[in-house]
Amino acid sequence: MKVGIIGSGGREHAICENLKKSNQIEKIFCFPGNAGTSEIAQNVDININNFEDLKNFILTKKLDLIVVGPEKPLVEGLVDFLNKFNIKVFGPNQIASQLEGSKIFTKQICKKYNIPTANFGIFKNISDASSFLKTVNFPIVIKADNLASGKGVYICENLEESLIAVEEIFNGKFGETKNLLIEEFLEGEEMSFFTVHDGKTFQSFGTAQDHKRVLEGDKGKNTGGMGAYSPSRLICKELEKKIIKKIIEPTLKGLSDLGTEYLGFLYTGLMIVKNEPYLIEYNVRMGDPECQTILPKLKTDLYVIFQACCNNNLSQIKIEWLNKKSLCVVICSKGYPEKIKKNVEINNLNKINLNKNNYIFHAGTKFQNQKIYAVGGRVLNFVSLSNSFAEARKNIQDNISSLNWTGGFYRKDIGYKVIKQ
């Protein structure tokens, strides 16, 4: 079988790495991929926003399955487009993808189906939002309605910060948006809960704790994710049942009432308040870096899972996992999440001797003239599986020390909530 992976980040490298273990796969293509995927797949230099070019390549090469990694092509309808040509795709259709594409769409489903979430208001201009903010208690949460690569959320401690957030959103920092949300701040602990869906049924697909803020101690600006660990320290059978019954099942009912179903990964971002789950947001794909943290623990053939979903028979598959702790640390280019310097050489990767259960997944990298360069904000993902989070983090820090790359930085406290100092 021939498989195509859409995307170029650490998530897509982790998917490629996992798929290469399948004895059913003959060849993997990655659109456009990165320096890491080039070692295990054929990178194809096609703009993933050009649906026509993607379709022509897929049909010409007779690919058997397409897996869409990032959110933008999902929200813009790539799955629907490829399905018209009888191309098998793992990923949700355009309507279902609005769970991530529009936070207002999701909030309206929450309201209609009594899904627990933060109280919210929708605002269409700077003036109305600013007037409202002068009446609220802080902290408060402000969100861009549209896709923002995980960065369009502000937790504001005072009026000044909130007014800056409103102006940045409406002035196009995250692209054109007609609306923003202002939400109450929920006091609790975040958790990422993953499920995999075949349009009819679903199964749990792991939990994780992301670290969004750029600085240690969860300080500084929001990022796409500086690291993660899995499983979440909060998860238990009782909480899992609540998440499914109170949040996921009503959401699927909402989509069904709109005449659509859900096929693909679903990332449920939660705030756990006194052991009760509240929905923060949905992502319609695996998280990044949560994917890099979770997939190395998977024992079941990932290709078999993808095929079962596309054939609507996921219930016939038993998904099995390694009983390990997993931790991921992201190395970023200096300056991230603001302005970075691109095309900085990473020259010591080949000197790192990775032991079993240790991985390096590439994100913003390219391979050129026999050298590897950093070309994005988040550059490399160091992952380790172990019997303890502390040992996993030590393994990662040893490997990062071997890299000795002066062009980047990372958080040294990933997993601090589960690692006693």
Spatial separation of the C-alpha atoms in residues 376 and 333, rounded to whole Å: 7
CATH code for position 211? 3.30.470.20
Alpha carbon 2 to its chain's center? 24
Q: Exposed/middle/buried for 187, CB within 10 Å: 0-12, 13-18, 19+?
A: exposed
312 and 246 together in one domain:
yes
Listed in sequence order, the DSSP H helices in 207-248 are: 237-243
110 falls within a domain: no
Output the pLDDT for position 151. 67
Across the range 37-44, mean pLDDT stands at 97
DSSP string, 10-35: HHHHHHHHHHTT-TT-SEEEEEE--T
Output the pLDDT for position 190. 93
403 falls within a domain: yes
219 and 272 together in one domain:
yes
Q: What is the dihedral of CA 195, 41, 55, 307, to 10 degrees?
A: -40
Total domains present in the chain: 4
195 and 129 together in one domain:
no
Q: Are 267 and 285 in contact (CB under 8 A)?
A: yes
Across the range 177-204, mean pLDDT stands at 94
CA distances from 221 to 56, 138, 150 (A): 41, 18, 11
415 falls within a domain: no
Output the pLDDT for position 153. 85
Tokens linked to 152: 């369009």
Domain that holds residue 63: 2-93
102 falls within a domain: no
Whether pLDDT at 283 is above 60: yes
210 and 288 together in one domain:
yes
Show the beta-strand stretches assigned E in 199-323.
202-210, 213-215, 219-222, 227-230, 263-273, 276-283
Q: Exposed/middle/buried for 97, CB within 10 Å: 0-12, 13-18, 19+?
A: buried
The letter for the amino acid at 150 is G
Spatial separation of the C-alpha atoms in residues 102 and 42, rounded to whole Å: 33
Q: What is the reported pTM?
A: 0.93
CATH code for position 353? 3.90.600.10
Spatial separation of the C-alpha atoms in residues 289 and 151, rounded to whole Å: 14
**Cis previous bond, 92, omega within 30:** no
286 falls within a domain: yes
The mean predicted confidence, pLDDT, of the chain is: 95
170 and 211 together in one domain:
no
CA distances from 239 to 114, 245, 278 (A): 18, 10, 11
296 and 281 together in one domain:
yes
Question: Under DSSP, is residue 282 helix (H, G, I), strand (E, B) or coil?
Answer: strand
131 and 41 together in one domain:
no
Q: Are 169 and 180 in contact (CB under 8 A)?
A: yes
End-to-end, the C-alpha distance of the chain in Å comes to 48
CATH code for position 10? 3.40.50.20
210 and 308 together in one domain:
yes
If you compute the radius of gyration of the chain from its CA atoms, what whole number of angstroms results?
A: 21
Output the pLDDT for position 150. 65
User: Which helix (H) or strand (E) segment is 67 a member of?
Assistant: strand 65-68
Q: Are 334 and 340 in contact (CB under 8 A)?
A: yes
Across the range 237-252, mean pLDDT stands at 98
Spatial separation of the C-alpha atoms in residues 148 and 176, rounded to whole Å: 10
Question: Under DSSP, is residue 113 helix (H, G, I), strand (E, B) or coil?
Answer: coil
pLDDT in tens, 73-132: 999 999 999 999 999 999 999 999 999 999 899 999 999 999 999 998 999 999 999 998
106 falls within a domain: no
Whether pLDDT at 183 is above 90: yes
399 and 336 together in one domain:
yes
209 and 297 together in one domain:
yes
Residue 242 dihedral angles phi and psi, to the nearest 5°:
-65, -45
Output the pLDDT for position 390. 97
- Of 273, 295, 316, which residue constitutes the final position of a domain? 316
Spatial separation of the C-alpha atoms in residues 292 and 124, rounded to whole Å: 37
Output the pLDDT for position 179. 87
CATH code for position 159? 3.30.1490.20
